[in-house]
Structures are given as structure tokens and as C-alpha cells.
Structure 1
């Protein structure tokens, strides 16, 4: 497994990571034992990067990771580089809000450390930006956690290139996380470039297009049972059917190239920059093997051209978020 670095001063990690939102039933039912099987497979494959958050299943994802580390011992803790996040909260009425204060970050990180049974995380992100607070103040709050020894590095999620540059002027930003795949290419309009300029890793979530870029897309019959997807524009009709049809040639191309569609989607993402690190999530060890296959694949320039010929920029039907889901992520183009 090839490795890449989390920022200029961060840890070396496997080019492929694990998005542990799937450990919290975001895309369907799972068990802790199933999550352990994914982590066992990761250890066998040399995958070292785990990405989670305090709000994934309201702590369930972190609790599963902590139980796994406890059951497997020090070898597992030494193997994995762990990232988590905070910054999403609720007001007195239960409505979602964003809190980028040091008090919130530290209190939530302390809970995360307790759930995972560790003393320090390798990377701690601001999960969503509270734009009423200067990003310089947010960077200082995150940097304070480095000084306290509770995280080794800091990151930002779903932010604009200009925001990244301002934050990086205060403290090195090891990683920026945002959605990026053949289905969502907005980061190419400045964010990938800003990360490269600053030596910041770009961590790509949903790199297989929330299943559209696989051989087994989530069937429309299941969408209504999935809280996020049932109101997501790309999974609502008629967009769902359009997107299934639009990605059919990609699945055929992957088969022609001798690999599963998910493998090809991961290989494409990794080919977009040496600082790009995809973190797909999965509840299936068979699907995880496809993701690992993609991380080990080598694509030529002609391969990339063939891929982008069948899925050119802008092919997807529907926005990546609905109006409510867009509250928090920064738009910059």
C-alpha cells in the first residue's frame, strides 16, 4: 500500500483510508463485529488511516473503534492513524448549530478520547465552520489542543480555499476534508490547488459517489430508509434514475479495464494529486477489498482520459446537497 503524508508535519498514512461513518449505520444497519472485520482487513492490507467524528451515530463510531483497539491490543493502536472531528452542536431547542470555541472543541475531544480509549488523536478537525467567528480564532483554538497534547495535528472540513489560507497563516493545517469524486468535482476549482500550495493533505470523502460509482449502487427501494439520502437531490426521482443511467458506461469501462467500478473510482481519485487521500466508508469486507484494489491500481494518462470521457465534469443530476444539507459547508465558486 502506497503512503502519503497528512500535511508537511503530519504522519505518513496509507493512501487509502477508512471513513468510519459507516460504523454508525449512516448507510444501513451494521454491527460492531462487522466494523471489526473491516478494521482487521485494513490491518492486513496496510490501510492505516481511520477518519471518524463525535457525531457519527452520536459517538457510536468512536465507541466501536475504541472497543476494537481494546480487543486487539497495542499492535492495533500502533497501526492506525486516527482522525476525529467536532464543531457540530445543538441549541436549547435541539436545532443544529456550529460551535468553534475552544471550550466546545476540548470538551468534545475529551469525550472522543474516552470513547476510543486513547490519550491523543493524530488529527483533529473543525467539522463545520461557524462563519461568525474569524477563522484565525478557530485556528488558534485548534492549535491550543496541539499544545495541550490532545492532538498531534489539526484540520478543517468543508471550507473555502480562502479560509484555508487564512487559517494556515496562524498554524499549519495538516488536512482539509471535503467531498470529492467523479461525481463532485468542485474542489478542483481552487481547493485542491490551495492544499497543494500549502502542503496540506486533501482528504476526499464519498469518493465512490455515495455508491453511484460502484457495481452495486444503493437501490431506490432502500433510499427512503436512509435519513441523509432520502432528501438528497441526487437520490430523489427522477435524478436517481438519471444518475444510474449516466454511470452505466463507467461500470462497463471498469469491467473492460479488468476491475470493479469502485476500484476504478478510487484509482481515479488518487491519480488527481499526490496530496489526495480518499476515505471511503463500507460495511462490507468484499467491497473493502475492491477499494484496496483501486488504491493499488496504476492508471495511465490515456486511462484517465477514457474515464473522464464517460463521466465528464458536470454529468451528475441534482446538487450534492439539499438546502438544509448546505448549511455549514462553505461555497466558494
Structure 2
């Protein structure tokens, strides 16, 4: 096993993961067509052998095919070396609209199906992928707590949840991790969500820490995207905004040059320097890019360099997500007293 990747305690319930994880979504969807299975299995094996053992998927990636891929890749002895995180709660209707589900029966059925696709007896970290705003969070958490008691999941996470939702969920059963977008240009979690997680002893898993590839290649990113690549719709990568955001990339590139590292390593190092309770999950489909990302762990930053990098957010134009309505900004749920079903 690789020894160059430090391990951290994620949350205060006992989960230990590699200080950097691997986001697996792009292997199966969103960033162009699915990638060849043998190559993706080779990449997953390379990651685990390099010491990156925290693997992130979801039942909606594919849909479903990403969990199947992970199940195949981890068959046999490798399962013992990894921490699998998957998610439930997002479905697509026939017309492609996103629907969010937190009903107890749905949670249980989704968990059983994920266990089968992943070919495992227990999921290490099970996230609510998005918060169902029709159902008190306590109701969703009640079912997740039962799944922990039954040994089907070890730890519970929330993705894109507001501070009040995190607090209410944590009162039912301890939350181990919160996953949200956090990077040099996605800073909206810093005001309430990060402090709430730290107060409650919850780990933080930043997704898209490289700005969905923008910090690796800058505006050039948009030139080679295939049809159906989700990034073509992201507001801050649209014409107009991307010209303004080019300045951010140029400044990162200048600093990276001074430090003798690449822009992507610098951007990722900034996320690592946020604390020992943080494990970002950059995704990739190429071994070379994976190796590049791992190099971020060796970049040293001074407090002055951290401040310079942090100040770049002031120049960013455009929203971070296509579906801002489905992020933590709108993730509060009704009070438990309003619930008429079983709990």
C-alpha cells in the first residue's frame, strides 16, 4: 500500500480515511460519455495502491453503473483496504428532472440496492445526497439510524445540507461527514456550515475542489468538452463569466510558478490547508491526473500565501452550480411536529 497519503479521522465517530479521496462520478456520467470499464478499474486499483482509500460514489451516478463499477473493482481482498461512501436520495424523472427522496421506505430500499450493486455487506459512509425539503430531517435520519443498528451502514453523512438541517440531523444520530462544494471559488459554506460541523465534531468532504477542472487547465477546459458534458451548463463557465474568471486562473498560475508546482496542486493544497478534518475528493478518469492530484499533499503554504489565494474569490463571477435551488441554500425541512407518518 502507498504510504505517502496521510490518514485522518473523519468526524468523531471513528471513521478513518485517506486525507484525499477519489470522486468516481466522472467515470460513469456528467463529464461526457462513460469511460471504458477496464481503464477505470485500473485507475481505482492504482488509487488504492497509492494510499487513496476513500472512494466516493452515488446510486444516481450512471445511474447505478458507477456503484456496479466500484463493486467489480473492489471484489476480493481490496474491499478491506477501502472506505466506500455512497449516497441516496436523487432520482431522475422520465423528462430528466431531478427529484429528491427522503421517505423512510425509500431510504431502506435505496440502501439495500446499493449494497447489492457494490457487492458489500456494509456501506462505510452513507450520505443523503440532497435534502428532501418535504420531510422533516428527523424522519429520514430515523431510518438511517436503524440501518446503522442493523449493520448495513457504519456512518451517516449529509450532502449539501444547511447548518440547521445538520444540527437537527445530528441530534437524532451523530453525523460523521458533510459533503459540499468547497474550493478556491466555492466559499459559501464557510459562513455557517464549516463552523457548525466543527462545533459538532463532523468531518468535511469538499467535492469539486478543483473547480470541476477549471483550476487544472483554466478557460481551455471548455474547448475539449464532449457533447453532454454537464460543465457546459455551469454558470461560471459560461461565456462572459469565464472571461472574468480567467483572471482567477491567471493569478493561481502565477503563484504556482513562483512555488514550482502546477495550478491544480496549488488549488488543492489550499483545500487541504483548511484543516485536519477535511478530506477533498477530486475526481479524475486518468492515472496521470490522479498522480498530479496526489502531489498536492506535498505542497507547503504559508499563511501569507493562503491569504493571497483566499482573496481570489472576490473576483469570481457566476453561480457555482446549475441547480442552486438544490444546494444547502434551500435545504431546510419542516418541523417534526408537522409529520403525520410513522417515525
Q: Under a length normalisation based on structure 2, what TM-score does the superposition of the two structures give?
A: 0.89
Alpha-carbon distance between aligned partners in 2 of 1:67 and 1:61, rounded to the nearest angstrom: 10
Alpha-carbon distance between aligned partners in 2 of 1:130 and 1:175, rounded to the nearest angstrom: 18
Between 1:116-125 and 1:31-40, the stretch displaced more is 31-40
Q: What residue in structure 2 maps to residue 192 of structure 1?
A: 194
Between 1:17-26 and 1:215-224, the stretch displaced more is 215-224
Give the match's secondary structure for 1:22: helix
The Cα of 1:91 is off from its aligned counterpart by 5.3
Alpha-carbon distance between aligned partners in 1 of 2:315 and 2:212, rounded to the nearest angstrom: 15
Q: Answer whether contact 2:252 2:267 (CA < 8 A) is retained.
A: no
The Cα of 1:231 is off from its aligned counterpart by 1.8
The Cα of 1:218 is off from its aligned counterpart by 5.4
Alpha-carbon distance between aligned partners in 1 of 2:70 and 2:93, rounded to the nearest angstrom: 28
Q: Answer whether contact 1:84 1:125 (CA < 8 A) is retained.
A: yes
Q: Where do 5+ consecutive residues of structure 2 fail to align?
A: 332-343
1:98 to 100, 110, 128: 100
Give the match's secondary structure for 1:187: coil
Give aligned pairs, total.
326
Alignment partner of 1:318 is 2:323:
no
The Cα of 1:332 is off from its aligned counterpart by 6.9
**Structure 1 stretches (4+) deviating beyond 6 angstroms?**
none
Alpha-carbon distance between aligned partners in 1 of 2:187 and 2:64, rounded to the nearest angstrom: 30
Alignment partner of 1:261 is 2:263:
yes
Question: Which structure 2 residues correspond to residues 245-324 of structure 1 after superposition, within 5 A?
Answer: 245-309=247-311, 311=312, 313-322=313-322
Q: Answer whether contact 1:211 1:218 (CA < 8 A) is retained.
A: no
Q: What residue in structure 2 maps to residue 208 of structure 1?
A: 210
Alpha-carbon distance between aligned partners in 1 of 2:197 and 2:226, rounded to the nearest angstrom: 36
Question: Which structure 2 residues correspond to residues 119-134 of structure 1 after superposition, within 5 A?
Answer: 119-134=121-136
Between 1:172-181 and 1:270-279, the stretch displaced more is 270-279
Change (3 A) 1:255 1:105: same
Between 1:235-244 and 1:169-178, the stretch displaced more is 235-244
Q: What residue in structure 1 maps to residue 39 of structure 2?
A: 34
Q: Where do 5+ consecutive residues of structure 1 fail to align?
A: none
Q: Answer whether contact 1:212 1:244 (CA < 8 A) is retained.
A: no
The Cα of 1:90 is off from its aligned counterpart by 4.4
Question: Which structure 2 residues correspond to residues 57-68 of structure 1 after superposition, within 5 A?
Answer: 57-68=62-73
Cα RMSD (Å) of the superposition? 1.9
Q: Under a length normalisation based on structure 1, what TM-score does the superposition of the two structures give?
A: 0.92
Alignment partner of 1:15 is 2:4:
no
Q: Answer whether contact 1:122 1:153 (CA < 8 A) is retained.
A: yes
Alpha-carbon distance between aligned partners in 2 of 1:197 and 1:248, rounded to the nearest angstrom: 36
Q: Answer whether contact 1:223 1:235 (CA < 8 A) is retained.
A: no
Alpha-carbon distance between aligned partners in 2 of 1:215 and 1:90, rounded to the nearest angstrom: 31
The Cα of 1:297 is off from its aligned counterpart by 2.6
Cα deviation code 1:260-308 (max 9, x no counterpart)? 1111111110111221110010011111111111023332213313323
Cα deviation code 1:102-145 (max 9, x no counterpart)? 21112112111111111111010111111111111121121111
Give the match's secondary structure for 1:125: strand
Alpha-carbon distance between aligned partners in 2 of 1:269 and 1:142, rounded to the nearest angstrom: 29
Give the match's secondary structure for 1:16: coil
